[in-house]
Amino acid sequence: MSIKIPDSLRREIASRAAFCCEYCRLPEQAAFFSFHVDHIISLRHGGKTELDNLAFACPICNRNKGTDLGTLSGNPPKLTRFFNPRIDHWSDHFYIEQTGEIISKTEVGEATLTFLDFNYPDAVIERKKLLLSGVLPV
Mean pLDDT of successive 10-residue stretches along the chain, which has 138 residues: 82 96 94 93 95 97 96 92 98 97 97 97 95 84
Per the structure, the count of domains in the chain is 1
Q: Which domain holds residue 42?
A: 7-132
Residue 54 in domain: yes
Task: Please report, as a single letter, which amino acid is at residue 63.
Answer: R
pLDDT at 35: 96
**CA-closest candidate to residue 17, choices 8, 28, 7, 6:** 28
pLDDT at 32: 84
Residue 2 in domain: no
Residue 106 in domain: yes
Structural contact between residues 126 and 100, judged by C-beta atoms closer than 8 angstroms: yes
* The total number of residues written for the chain in this structure: 138
pLDDT at 2: 59
Residue 97 in domain: yes
Residue 65 in domain: yes
Task: Please report, as a single letter, which amino acid is at residue 12.
Answer: E
Residue 137 in domain: no
pLDDT at 125: 95
Residue 138 in domain: no
